[in-house]
Each structure stands twice: as C-alpha cells, then as structure tokens.
C-alpha cells in the first residue's frame, strides 16, 4: 500500500519513456532502456495488481520504493524499438505530484512556489493556517484542501483549513506575486528567515488564537542576534533585519511557549 494517498492526475515524460493510462491499466512505453534494467515510475499512489510484459504476458518482478513503482525488465539483446510493460491497478489512478512537500516533524511547511498551485501532505490531521509572503493587487484567494478564503491583503495568516493525514492536497494562492508560503498548525508560533537586501529578515508569525510573546535568537558565526517580542496578536507577524554572509543552514532559536517552531533557511 502506498504511504501517501495521491490525487487524480497523469504522469509527465519519464527518463525512460512515458506512462499512459488505458482503462484501469498503465502502459509503460520504454524507449530508452535503463542500463540497470530497472524502470522507476515516481509518485504512483495506486497499488498495482500485477505487472506483465506486453506481447508475452510474462509476469515481471516489481516492488514499491516509497511511492515509486520499480519494475525489473527482462534482459534483452535488442538495441532498438520500444518495449511495453502493462501495470494493472487495484483502483483508479492516483498520483503523488513531483512538487508534493511533506510537513516537517513540527507540522510546518515552508514553500517557495513555482506556480499558483503546490501540493502538501500532512503527517497527522490538523487545522492549519497559511501565511503568504508576497504582494497583493486587490483581493487575493487562498485555497487549501478544497477550502477557500478571499482576503484583502497578505499581511496576516489565512485560515483555518482542515487538512487530513497522509493525503495529497492542493494549495492554490492567487495573488499578484508570491515569494514564500508558510503553513502551520493553528496554535503554533513560527520563526522563519527570508532573503532581504543586505542580508535576511527574521520573521515570527503567530498562528495561534491568543496573544504571543517570547524571544527569537539567530546564531551566527560572528555572534548572536537576539530580539524580544510582546503582544503579538493572532495572525500577525513581526520582523527584524539581520546582516549575514557566507553559506550554510540558518535556524532561529524561538522561545514562545510550548508550541514554538522554527523553519530552516539555506544561505547560499
């Protein structure tokens, strides 16, 4: 059984060829045979019933590697032409899109979207909120797990959204521009780091329902930057600039009560 319950969809081009759905069967059309004789189809959430070679009906060895299907091809002396593998499915085709992001252990997602829609998977069921870092030109729309809000600005968290465990859900943000997105369980206070002119910006966002207060510390090779905050209202953020250089992972040490979380940032 797949670890993640996927969504309806189709597969894009693969390094070895293509995967095409025909009724309840996937046809793997192999035009570039891998040197190790193994074909990997990433993101197949539906469990296969059986896998056979087209034409001969010979059963092929296959295994699941996470949510990937790996099929062992029979050895062949042929160097030209395409071969086809038939994968019978136990149900309707469901996939895990390649841009799917699983939450960190603390239940927080940090996204740098490349389009209007991203895909998330929660480790456990939770009510979450979304904080969009970007620019709005009029109203913006945020939709997660088929629940939608229209907001006049992006300066606060949006939600709540009920997110199930282990199921791929789409997150769509319609705004003038989107640089980064935080998604966190309601009740969490999250520290994040964002690129800024001359360094970075350290941001603390209150995803909770009550006022938050605490301290944020950013360890650096040259010392520590320390900031205190009080009366941070639900849904609001506070930020401070920090001059940094070099490369490596940065993470804020946040003390804001029992449900504090900190998102890593890779400095390049």
CATH number for position 29: 2.60.40.1180
DSSP code of residue 6: -
Q: What pLDDT was estimated at residue 210?
A: 95
The CATH number assigned to the domain holding 214 equals 2.60.40.10
Residues 107 and 167 grouped into a single domain: yes
Nearby residues of 83 by Cβ (< 8 Å), 6 or more positions away = 30, 33, 53, 54, 73, 76
Residues found in the chain: 268
Same domain, yes or no, for 180 and 193?
no
Distance CA(224)–CA(217), nearest Å, equals 7
How do residues 218-232 score in pLDDT, each as one tens digit?
999 888 999 999 999
- Closest listed residue to residue 237, CA positions, set 161, 165, 157, 175: 157
6 domain-assigned: no
User: Is residue 121 in some structural domain?
Assistant: yes
**What end-to-end distance do the CA atoms of the chain give, in Å?**
39
- Structural domain of 49: 17-89
Looking at the fold, whether 176 and 140 belong to one and the same domain comes out as yes
Mean pLDDT over 155-180 rounds to: 93
* Dist. CA 146–CA 142, nearest whole Å: 10
Instruction: Quote the number of domains for the chain.
Output: 3
Largest CA distance in the chain: 72
pTM over 0.85: no
Is 94 part of a structural domain of the chain? Answer: no
Domain boundary among the residues 89, 112, 130 is at: 89
What tokens appear for 161 in the block?
A: 């959204």
pLDDT of residue 2: 41
Distances (CA, A) of 241 to 92, 225, 227: 50, 10, 10
Shared domain for 143 and 165, answered yes or no, is yes
Query: Both 257 and 211 in a single domain?
Result: yes
What integer pLDDT is reported at residue 3 of this predicted model?
47
Neighbours of 64 (CB within 10 A): 14
pLDDT digits (tens, 9 = 90+) for 192-218: 999 988 889 999 999 999 999 999 999
CATH code for the domain in which residue 124 is found:
2.60.120.260
State the average pLDDT for the chain.
90
Domain end marker among 153, 184, 215: 184
Q: Kindly state the average pLDDT of the residues 259-268.
A: 90
Asked if residue 104 and residue 130 are part of one domain, the reply reads: yes
Q: Answer with the one of 89, 116, 135 that is the final residue of a domain.
A: 89
79, pLDDT greater than 70? no
173, 144: one domain: yes
- Residue 208 is classified by DSSP as S
Q: Are residues 111 and 53 in the same domain?
A: no
pLDDT at residue number 5: 63
């Amino acid at each position: 059984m797949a670890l993640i319950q996927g969504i309806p969809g189709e597969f894009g081009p693969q390094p070895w060829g293509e995967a095409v759905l025909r009724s309840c069967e996937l046809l793997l059309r192999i035009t570039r045979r891998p040197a190790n004789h193994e074909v990997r189809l990433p993101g197949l959430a539906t469990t296969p019933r059986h896998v056979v070679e087209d034409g001969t009906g010979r059963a092929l060895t296959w295994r699941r590697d996470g949510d990937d299907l790996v099929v062992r091809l029979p050895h062949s002396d042929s160097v030209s032409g395409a071969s086809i593998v038939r994968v019978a499915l136990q149900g309707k085709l469901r996939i895990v899109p390649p841009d799917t992001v699983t939450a960190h252990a603390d239940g927080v997602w940090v996204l740098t979207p490349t389009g209007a829609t991203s895909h998330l998977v929660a480790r456990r069921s939770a009510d979450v909120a979304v904080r969009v870092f970007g620019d709005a030109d009029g109203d913006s729309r945020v939709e997660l797990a088929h629940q939608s809000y229209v907001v006049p600005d992006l300066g606060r968290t949006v939600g709540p959204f009920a997110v199930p465990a282990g199921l791929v859900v789409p997150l769509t943000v319609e705004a003038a521009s989107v640089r980064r997105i935080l998604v966190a369980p309601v009740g969490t206070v999250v520290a994040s780091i964002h690129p800024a002119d001359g360094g970075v910006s350290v941001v603390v966002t209150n995803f909770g329902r009550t006022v938050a207060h605490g301290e944020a510390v950013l360890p650096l090779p040259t010392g520590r930057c320390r900031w205190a905050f009080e009366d941070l209202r639900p849904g609001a953020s506070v930020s401070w600039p920090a001059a940094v250089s070099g490369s490596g992972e940065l993470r804020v040490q946040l003390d804001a009560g029992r449900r504090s979380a900190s998102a890593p940032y890779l400095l390049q």
